[in-house]
């Protein structure tokens, strides 16, 4: 069995780590870890994968550089061809693909996403699927908020989610609620 590989990159939010594997000549991303206030991305990676090797490739370096630019506020378009959705349940994949389609500068709510993909009363299902999003940033789960306009949770921490939204032009009230009329779905 071939072990997965990882590469860690610096960012304005500490670091992020891309975990990937090869299947023949094909390279697939298994996970992207964000640092949060308690634990950095490399520590999360080493905690999650007991057998893993530090390595990179031109595809991983290119993706890492795109994520770095995104985290500095640039408008970067990601494609999905390198992501390994085989590790996701079908319902999670549907949620992730719906989330991916939310454009920069827009938000949606967990409830709206659930309704869009046909899950009645599915806000919690959507929230749980996004909480376990293996591809944050590429799948922009920071763009999903609660119906009451609170930001909700985020793998990189609430502050990172808020800063990412602000970089996309989303404003916040004094009480920390999202103010925008750019709502998707």
pLDDT band at 35 (very low <50, low <70, confident <90, very high): very high
The answer to whether residue 48 scores a pLDDT higher than 60 is: yes
Annotate 57-85 with three-state secondary structure.
CHHHHHHHHHHHHHHCCCCCCCCCCCECH
Does residue 81 belong to any structural domain of this protein? Answer: no
Average pLDDT over residues 101-107: 97
- Beta-strand pair 53-54/26-34: unpaired
Average pLDDT over residues 149-171: 96
Does residue 22 belong to any structural domain of this protein? Answer: yes
Percent over 70 (pLDDT), the chain: 99
Does residue 107 belong to any structural domain of this protein? Answer: yes
Q: What sign does the dihedral 162-35-139-126 (CA atoms) show?
A: negative
174/103 same-domain check:
yes
At residue 56, the pLDDT reads 86
At residue 124, the pLDDT reads 95
107/137 same-domain check:
yes
At residue 142, the pLDDT reads 97
16/62 same-domain check:
yes
Average pLDDT over residues 109-132: 96
146/117 same-domain check:
yes
Instruction: Say which of 141, 165, 167, 170 is annotated catalytic.
Output: 141
Does residue 79 belong to any structural domain of this protein? Answer: no
Q: What is the pLDDT of residues 4-20, one digit of tens each?
A: 999 999 999 999 999 99
CATH number of the domain that residue 141 is part of? 1.10.10.10
Average pLDDT over residues 76-104: 96
Does residue 83 belong to any structural domain of this protein? Answer: no
The answer to whether residue 2 scores a pLDDT higher than 80 is: no
54/109 same-domain check:
no
Its domain, for residue 116, covers: 89-179
Total domain count, the chain: 2
58/98 same-domain check:
no
The question of whether 141 is a catalytic residue gets the answer: yes
Does residue 84 belong to any structural domain of this protein? Answer: no
Query: Which two structure tokens, joined as six digits, stand for 19?
Result: 């975990």
The answer to whether residue 1 scores a pLDDT higher than 60 is: no
At residue 25, the pLDDT reads 82
């Amino acid at each position: 069995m071939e072990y997965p590989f990882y590469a860690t990159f610096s960012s304005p939010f500490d670091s992020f780590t891309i975990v990937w594997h090869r299947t023949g000549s094909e390279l697939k991303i298994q996970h992207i870890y964000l640092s949060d206030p308690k634990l950095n991305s490399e520590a999360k990676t080493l905690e999650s994968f007991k057998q893993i090797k530090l390595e990179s490739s031109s595809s991983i370096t290119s993706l890492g550089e795109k994520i770095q630019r995104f985290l500095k506020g640039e408008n970067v378009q990601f494609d999905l061809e390198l992501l390994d959705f085989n590790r996701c349940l079908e319902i999670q994949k549907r949620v992730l693909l719906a989330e991916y389609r939310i454009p920069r500068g827009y938000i949606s709510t967990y409830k709206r996403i659930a309704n869009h993909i046909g899950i009645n009363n599915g806000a919690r299902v959507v929230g749980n699927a996004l909480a376990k999003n293996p591809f944050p940033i590429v799948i922009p789960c920071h763009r999903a908020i609660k119906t009451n306009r609170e930001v909700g949770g985020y793998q990189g921490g609430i502050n990172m989610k808020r800063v990412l939204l602000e970089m996309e032009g989303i404003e916040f009230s004094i009480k920390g609620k999202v103010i925008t009329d750019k709502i998707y779905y």
